[in-house]
Structure 1
Amino acid sequence: MNYVIGIIGLVIILGVTWLASNNRKKVKYKPIIIMIILQFILGFILLNTTVGNVLIAGIANGFGQLLKYAGEGINFVFGGLVNQKEFSFFLGVLMPIVFISALIGILQHLKVLPFIVKYIGLALSKVNGMGKLESYNAVASAILGQSEVFISVKKQLGLLSERRLYTLCASAMSTVSMSIVGSYMVLLKPQYVVTALVLNLFGGFIIASIINPYDVTEKEDMLEVQETEKKSFFEVLGEYIMDGFKVAITVAAMLIGFIALIAFINAVFKGIIGISFQEILGYVFAPFAFIIGVPWHEAVNAGNIMATKLVSNEFVAMTNLAQGNFHFTERTTAIISVFLVSFANFSSIGIIAGAVKSLNEKQGNVVARFGLKLLLGATLVSFLSATIVGLIV
């Protein structure tokens, strides 16, 4: 029965995407079918094979070691403030972002990441039937983040059509930055985080290929990325450390605001109608949770978490899931966890539009205009990845 519901859910998700398409006649079905098959193969390898278990264990151990090293710096600065018997979300989850960001800066300066991103992007363009720039941007987004990635394509922004710009922005919203993956692994099981990263990469291409199909000529398909002025090693290191700190502080501020606001709204709703706002969202999203494979008796609570991610951000939803108050089955936990690993939420519309506008005001206004459709596409990517996981586990 789970497989039947999952397949129906997959058809519904692809059907909704097709209905929202800009040009249904231009949709290229062969690359889409190939990428869906690749999603199933890669998802199965990562979740159900010894090779996948070893790979994920290696990645998890690697990030675990990095978090330990980050702890050295955190303890030196905040050691006197830490209560050893209590877990500090700010220190244990957010502050390590600073160290991971520093490592990314070093790899950027040594030209290791640009090399990897460029050639993985070129390889992906052979599979997805899209432009080289789109493929490059998708990989770069998964490493640099949804706002920073646009700096690397600054030179091309003013030359892009609205449809190509949509694909670049959808990729940025559908993925997450490598600097915060370690933080996600504190809240979710590493195998679900890694699986979501892989599935979302292909899912972004699949949804964009249906919802926003277009052809790219050889002349338009430039891959040359923006060369920034030459900086010394320590200039780059300092810049990335500060960027990581800004991300951590920004996330902390967003969490404080959203969690407090949700608590306030919950209290107001409960006082007036006897049911909290999040419980209402749970009932609204329960059908969506059901069609991606969550059993009906868990669908309301699962819908609650999924809706929380959409209206606030993934950290708020992950924290709710990590608290263990819902007692989900392992399969439901897998589905929800994969759904949560992306930047698909309302606040990301402003973040991406602002990032593009800071580099090219005209294109930033274009992004703001298709903001809701951008969120629709990125959310469909999350649904697609979660549905595939539900069929695999």
Structure 2
Amino acid sequence: MKLVLFLAALILIFFLAYIVSNQRSEIKMKPIITMIGLQLVFAFILLNTEFGLVIVRGVSTAFDYLLSYAAEGINFVFGGMANEGTSPFFLNVLLPIVFVSVLIGIAQYLRILPFIVHYLGLLLSKVNGLGKLESFNAVASAIFGQSEVFISIKKQLPHIPEHRLYTLCTSAMSTVSASILGAYMTMIEPKYVITALVLNLFGGFIIANIINPYKVKEDEDLIEIREDKKQSFFEMLGEYIMDGFKVAIVVGAMLIGFVALIGMVNHLFEVAFGISFQVALGYVFAPFAFLVGVPASEIVQAGTIMSTKLLTNEFVAMMDLAEITSSLSDRAVGIISVFLVSFANFSSIGIISGAVKGLNEEKGNTVAKFGLKLLYGATLVSLLTATITGIMLK
């Protein structure tokens, strides 16, 4: 039964991508099949092998240390604000982003990240059927984030055609930034965060190869890494500290607004129809939850969490998941968790188009024009990742 659902989910996801494809005759099946195979291999390793367990434990332990170091700075500034036994979300989940941002800045300053991103991008381009720029951008998105990544290719933005820009934006929305991984790991199991990070990277290429297939000429595929004016080490530290703090504040502000709005809409909907808006949307997403492998008795709960992520953001959905985890099976929790690890939500359309527009107004308007199709593609990536995870979980 699990295999039947897996195949049915793949067929549905590919069909949903195919019906909106720009050039169906240009779809290349070889890289798609190759990357599905790679997703299955990586999912099996990360979820079901001792080697994968070692990797997950290693990454999780590293982030535990990072979060403990971050806590020292947070406690120095905000110590005593929290009541004993409480765990304020802003202090424990959002503010550690500041410290992780600093570490990313140091790796960037020492030219470690550009080296990794550049050559890993070149390697990925050998299997994904797309250009080196697309591969570079996907890896960079997983490190820098969906808005910051476009700074690394700002010199090329004026020359990037619309079809390639769509793929770049899909990668940015489908992945998550390294600075925020620690925050996710405080809310869901680290193994699901890492698994989703890897699977989404390939999933973005797969969906883009169906929705937006094209060929890239060699002379159109130069990779440039942004060269900033030379900063001193401490100038760089100050910049990344402030960048991390801005991210924490922005995410916090969005959560305040979205959680409050959901509360109001749920109340009004319940008064009018006797059911909350989130639960109503849960029934819409329930069939998708069933296909990706969630047990039938839990599909409405799963669908509710999935729809919440799409309408608001992954943090709101992860908080909702944490509240009902005890009532769900481990299998359902795993599948929902990997679905949540991406930036595929309505607010990201504005974030990405705004980031691009800040660098090039014309290209920013182009992104806004295909914004809904961008979210559509990124959501299919999340469903594909959930499907791959579902076949691998017991």
Normalising by structure 2, report the TM-score: 0.99
Query: Aligned equivalents of 2:271 and 2:101: distance in 1?
Result: 44
What residue is the counterpart of 1:22 in the other structure? 22
What residue is the counterpart of 2:129 in the other structure? 129
Cα deviation for residue 159 of structure 1 reads 0.2
**Greater mean alpha carbon deviation, residues 286-295 or residues 314-323:** 286-295
Q: How does 1:194-233 map to 2 (within 5 A)?
A: 194-233=194-233
List per-residue Cα deviations over 1:239-277 (Å, max 9, x = no partner).
Answer: 111010000000100111101110111111111111111
Letter in 2 for 1:342: S
1:289 has 2:289 as partner:
yes
Any conservation in 1 of the 2:203–2:381 contact (CA below 8 Å)?
Answer: yes
List per-residue Cα deviations over 1:363-383 (Å, max 9, x = no partner).
Answer: 000000000000011000000
**Greater mean alpha carbon deviation, residues 224-233 or residues 310-319:** 224-233
What residue is the counterpart of 2:250 in the other structure? 250
Query: Aligned equivalents of 2:55 and 2:357: distance in 1?
Result: 39
List per-residue Cα deviations over 1:324-380 (Å, max 9, x = no partner).
Answer: 366111111111000000000000000000000000000000000000000011000
Q: Could you say what secondary structure the match of 1:127 adopts?
A: coil
Q: How does 1:80-159 map to 2 (within 5 A)?
A: 80-159=80-159
Query: Aligned equivalents of 1:183 and 1:84: distance in 2?
Result: 21
What residue is the counterpart of 1:5 in the other structure? 5
Q: Could you say what secondary structure the match of 2:223 adopts?
A: coil
List per-residue Cα deviations over 1:277-324 (Å, max 9, x = no partner).
Answer: 111011111111111111221110100000000000000000111123
Q: Could you say what secondary structure the match of 2:93 adopts?
A: helix
What residue is the counterpart of 1:298 in the other structure? 298
Cα deviation for residue 225 of structure 1 reads 2.1
Any conservation in 2 of the 1:301–1:326 contact (CA below 8 Å)?
Answer: no
**Greater mean alpha carbon deviation, residues 172-181 or residues 265-274:** 265-274
What residue is the counterpart of 1:44 in the other structure? 44
Letter in 2 for 1:303: G
Any conservation in 1 of the 2:114–2:225 contact (CA below 8 Å)?
Answer: no
What residue is the counterpart of 2:352 in the other structure? 352
What residue is the counterpart of 1:189 in the other structure? 189
Letter in 2 for 1:297: S
**Greater mean alpha carbon deviation, residues 321-330 or residues 48-57:** 321-330
**Greater mean alpha carbon deviation, residues 197-206 or residues 7-16:** 7-16
Cα deviation for residue 82 of structure 1 reads 1.9
Any conservation in 2 of the 1:196–1:339 contact (CA below 8 Å)?
Answer: yes
- Count of residue pairs brought into register by the alignment: 393
Distance 1:325 1:265, change over 3 A: farther
User: Could you list the runs of 4 or more consecutive aligned residues of structure 1 that deviate by over 3 angstroms after TM superposition?
Assistant: none
What residue is the counterpart of 2:375 in the other structure? 375
What residue is the counterpart of 2:384 in the other structure? 384
What residue is the counterpart of 1:241 in the other structure? 241
Cα deviation for residue 3 of structure 1 reads 2.1
Letter in 2 for 1:204: G
Any conservation in 2 of the 1:105–1:240 contact (CA below 8 Å)?
Answer: yes
Query: Aligned equivalents of 2:211 and 2:230: distance in 1?
Result: 39
Query: Aligned equivalents of 1:307 and 1:145: distance in 2?
Result: 23
Query: Aligned equivalents of 1:116 and 1:194: distance in 2?
Result: 18
Any conservation in 2 of the 1:259–1:316 contact (CA below 8 Å)?
Answer: yes
Cα deviation for residue 226 of structure 1 reads 2.2
Query: Aligned equivalents of 1:84 and 1:217: distance in 2?
Result: 61
Q: In structure 2, list runs of 5 or more residues that go unmatched.
A: none
Letter in 2 for 1:284: V
Any conservation in 2 of the 1:122–1:135 contact (CA below 8 Å)?
Answer: yes
Q: Could you say what secondary structure the match of 1:130 adopts?
A: coil
Letter in 1 for 2:32: I
List per-residue Cα deviations over 1:172-199 (Å, max 9, x = no partner).
Answer: 0000000000000000000000000000
Measured on the aligned residues, the alpha-carbon RMSD in Å equals 0.8
Distance 1:192 1:325, change over 3 A: closer
Letter in 2 for 1:121: G
What residue is the counterpart of 1:279 in the other structure? 279
Query: Aligned equivalents of 1:226 and 1:112: distance in 2?
Result: 14
Query: Aligned equivalents of 1:73 and 1:285: distance in 2?
Result: 41
1:264 has 2:264 as partner:
yes
Query: Aligned equivalents of 1:154 and 1:24: distance in 2?
Result: 30
Query: Aligned equivalents of 2:84 and 2:359: distance in 1?
Result: 44
